[in-house]
Amino acid sequence: MRELHGVPVGYPHTRSGAKAAAANYTTIAGSSRFLTDKDARHRAVAVMAAKDTAGSVVKKADHAAENAVGSLRGDTSKVSAEKAISRTGVLSAHVLGFDAHGAMVRLWTTTVRGSAAGHATPRTGFRSVTVTLTWEDNDWKLKDSSASTGLVAPIDVRQASNVPADFSAYAPGAAENPVLSGTEDRSGFPAPYGHNERGARAAAVSATMLYGDPRFFTDEDWRHRMLAATAASSVLDSVTSDTDSTARLVMENRGVGADGKTADGSELITRTAALATRSISYSDQAASIELWTASVGGVAGKDETQRPQVAFLRMTVDLVWEDGTWKTTAVTPSEPLVPSPPAMQEADPANSFADVGGASNAPATA
């Protein structure tokens, strides 16, 4: 993919391409630069929007930016564009409608907004975003979007909120938004990545998303094919053995069978979204990428003790250039980076999360 005014363009004319476009447009519209820089916002909208809806999309974007000022200020007197934290992660993507001419995609997202300055920790939120797209000029273009409060998952009880300064590594100038392409090979896994730093970042994003997919735990054949497509040959055997053990342990602890459900029909829910990426090191042959991620895990059913929770982690993905693409040698959780919980919102009951599970709701990969 290529970018124009910071907007990825050139999506495949597929369901996955529509999912990717919806996710990228939502991520961009929730970024601090989009919300704080009017000129940058209007340039981005000019790229994203369909010809006949550009005017209404601009008005809606300007209104959203006005409403976001308070959340980006933290407890300081005014917004600092350099310190503003505004990131969006896509946890699920459900295609409500699709044909050759258009698509409608409903996203479940988690957002983190605030400031790395001051004393108020950036706060998380959950949104349901419905994006309407049209196929125009050989690409997916934005016709409209609407947002409401999404399913609220509690933050993992083992995680405590960080202080504002800890978020500086993911301020606008220090990290980048993930870019999803929706491009797949015939196996259904991401197509080969470019031999550059951007390609390494994309491979790292896809790896963390695929490791968080429910099929990773419930479908051994899918897991082995995914690892064969993404892991370096030097570690494939050991990674396969380790992940087989991890998957068995998760299914045993959750009481989940091979169909991804418990004895009473409750469904395993797991997703990992990338909030931002930054390079630790890069060369033509090896790269190390740090991602800030939000992972949801639990069971959608009647047992509230297994209600899905969200954990905010930094993940380090090490990669090598092999067989014409980037392959992972390690995917390692590191220090948490945890925002404050949603303000004045209670977590939704466990059974309400069933709508975001299943393979059909998986977001597009990078």
Say whether pLDDT at 307 is over 90. yes
Q: How confident is the model at residue 187 (pLDDT cuts 50, 70, 90)?
A: confident
Tokens of 196: 């550059």
Say what percent of the chain tops pLDDT 90.
95
- Read off the pLDDT of each residue in 114-142 and give the average, rounded to a whole number: 97
Q: How confident is the model at residue 258 (pLDDT cuts 50, 70, 90)?
A: confident
Say whether pLDDT at 186 is over 90. no
- Read off the pLDDT of each residue in 259-276 and give the average, rounded to a whole number: 95
| 303: Cα separation from own chain's centroid | 27
- Read off the pLDDT of each residue in 107-116 and give the average, rounded to a whole number: 97
Say whether pLDDT at 148 is over 90. yes
Tokens of 32: 């601090």
Say whether pLDDT at 66 is over 90. yes
Say whether pLDDT at 268 is over 90. yes
- Read off the pLDDT of each residue in 316-344 and give the average, rounded to a whole number: 95
Say whether pLDDT at 69 is over 90. no
- Taking the CB of residue 157, how many other CB atoms lie within 10 A of it? 8
- Read off the pLDDT of each residue in 81-106 and give the average, rounded to a whole number: 97
Say whether pLDDT at 343 is over 90. no
Say what percent of the chain tops pLDDT 70.
100
- Read off the pLDDT of each residue in 219-233 and give the average, rounded to a whole number: 97
Average pLDDT, the chain: 96
Q: What are phi and psi of 348, to 5 degrees?
A: -75, 155
3-state SS of the chain is CEEECCEEECCCCCHHHHHHHHHHHHHHHCCHHHHHCHHHHHHHHHHHECHHHHHHHHHHHHHHHHHHHHHHHCCCCCCCCCCEEEEEEEEEEEEEEECCCEEEEEEEEEEEEEECCCCCCCEEEEEEEEEEEEEECCEEEEEEEEEEECCCCCECCCCCCCCHHHHHHHCCCCCECCCCCCCECCCCCECCCCCCHHHHHHHHHHHHHHHCCHHHHHCHHHHHHHHHHHECCCCHHHHHHHHHHHHHHHHHHHCCCCCCECCCCCEEEEEEEEEEEEEEEECCCEEEEEEEEEEEEEEECCCHHHCCEEEEEEEEEEEEEECCEEEEEEEEEEEECCCECCCCCCCCCHHHHHHHCCHHHCCCCC
Which tens digits make up the pLDDT trace of 313-327? Answer: 999 999 999 999 999
Which tens digits make up the pLDDT trace of 7-61? Answer: 999 999 999 999 999 999 999 999 999 999 999 999 999 999 999 999 999 999 9
pLDDT confidence of residue 344: 81
Q: Which of 191, 145, 128 is nearest to 48 (CA)?
A: 145
Q: What are phi and psi of 12, to 5 degrees?
A: -70, 150
User: Which has more confidence, 334 or 197?
Assistant: 197
